[in-house]
Amino acid sequence: MSVILLLCLLLLFIFLTSTQSQKKETESQTQQNSESEIINANFRNDPAKWIYNACIQEGFSPLVAGFVVAQCAYETGDFCSPLCAAYNNCSGNKYVTSTGVLCGNNAYKLTSGFAAYTSVKWWLLDYIRIISLSRYGKILQSKTLADFVICLWRGGYFGVTYPNGTETAKNYYNGCLYYYKYYSNLFTSKSQI
């Protein structure tokens, strides 16, 4: 009888610890979802300002943070593209697997091959990791928007084929320049472009 009682107590103990562990996981997931919702809401309120401030918090110079805002605004049509609005991808990041892992656990692949993120926070972390790759040279030390765009181009970030040919560095620069000027009131440090 005491063996049966011990087994019952052991099963009860396992059940209770399992339930507590599941409860903690659920609470943690709820907290992460809540944090993502707050971050995404702040982003939707003022995407350029959010990206600029988040880049500075991640250690970018104010100058480079401004270049990132200009690039993202250009890539997304002033943050209005479906990829940005629905999938929190502000720079056209592709979802790469196997040898060239691009995205972490908080991203998934769209049928188009682009990455979709559960939060703009996860997009930003992937973006930082991508442009920190050696193929982008000294992009994070760029002193002008032109230097920033050339580092992107040399690293293969753009050059997408359009029906009328391949986008040139000059076209990409002009698009980024438009948004750099448009959002320049946000930037504490301005480039001589």
Domain ranges of the chain: 1-45, 47-186
pLDDT score of 129: 87
| pLDDT, tens only, 130-165 | 899 899 999 999 999 999 999 998 888 887 555 555
Place of tokens 């300002």: 49
| pLDDT, tens only, 51-101 | 999 999 999 999 999 999 999 999 999 999 999 999 999 999 888 755 455
- Distance in angstroms (rounded) separating the CA atoms of residues 139 and 71: 13
* Mean pLDDT calculated for residue range 2-27: 54
- Distance in angstroms (rounded) separating the CA atoms of residues 134 and 139: 9
Report the share of the chain in percent with pLDDT over 90: 45
Say whether pLDDT at 28 is over 50: no
pLDDT score of 192: 56
* H or E stretch covering 108: strand 107-109
Place of tokens 């040279």: 137
pLDDT score of 189: 64
**Is residue 86 a contact partner of residue 78, using CB atoms and an 8 Å limit?**
no
pLDDT score of 59: 95
- Distance in angstroms (rounded) separating the CA atoms of residues 105 and 88: 15
**Is residue 74 a contact partner of residue 181, using CB atoms and an 8 Å limit?**
no
CA atoms within 13 A on the CB side of 78: 5
CATH number of 47-186: 1.10.530
Say whether pLDDT at 47 is over 90: yes
> Cα 12 from chain centroid?
44
pLDDT score of 188: 74
Tell me the chain's radius of gyration from C-alpha atoms. Answer: 22
Token duo for residue 24? 């903690």
- Distance in angstroms (rounded) separating the CA atoms of residues 63 and 144: 8
